[in-house]
Amino acid sequence: METIYDVLSAEHDQVADLLQQATCNGSRESLLKVKAKTDLHMAGEEKLFYPLLQQKDELCDLVKHAFKEHKESKTVISELERMDESDHNWTSKVEKRNEKKIDHQVQEEENKVFPAAQKVLSQDKAQEIAQQCL
Ligand SMILES: [Fe+2]
Ligand SMILES: [Fe+2]
């Protein structure tokens, strides 16, 4: 049965694909797709996943950091949203700032947050919250 880690990792892959597209075609439409997907993904994590981790003292700092990262990526995306896509900086900004930021965040989650969560959340719980995501 699918766990929350499977669901979130699959979403990370979807975001990476969309981001790749946005970097290639440099269109606002693609950026908006990235935004829609990341907003939904982060909202799910903030509502279903992080609160459970936050209850554990040892994970408190990690979760605080994750929330901070989310805030930063929302800022980056809204900055891009306000820019004109014909701006010559548009593509390089999408590429550098957005990709770097989101990529870094995904790495951190998959390599630090998930293993730490697996230590404190039972397999049952990890499956139960996966169901709530659907
Ligand atoms: Fe996240
Ligand atoms: Fe994530």
Ligand 1 center from residue 6 Cα (angstroms) = 14
Residues 64, 70: contact at Cβ < 8 Å?
no
What local confidence, expressed as pLDDT, does residue 33 receive? 93
pLDDT at residue 4 in the model: 97
Task: Determine the pLDDT at residue 76.
Answer: 82
CA 16 to centroid of ligand 1, rounded, Å? 13
For the stretch 116-125, contacts whose Cβ atoms lie closer than 8 Å and that sit 24 or more positions apart, written own/partner, are: 116/53, 116/58, 116/59, 116/62, 117/5, 117/49, 117/52, 117/53, 117/59, 118/5, 120/53, 120/56, 120/58, 120/59, 121/4, 121/52, 121/53, 123/3, 125/52
User: 52 CB contacts (<8 Å, ≥6 apart)?
Assistant: 117, 121, 125, 129
Q: Which ligand is nearest to the CA of 53?
A: 1
pLDDT at 89 (0 to 100)? 75
The pTM is what?
A: 0.89
Q: Tens place of pLDDT for every residue, the chain, 134 residues? A: 999 999 999 999 999 899 888 888 888 898 899 999 999 999 999 999 999 999 999 999 999 999 999 998 888 888 888 888 777 777 777 777 666 777 888 999 999 999 999 999 999 999 999 998 86
Domain 4-133 is of which CATH architecture? Up-down Bundle (1.20)
44 C-alpha to ligand 1 centroid (Å): 9
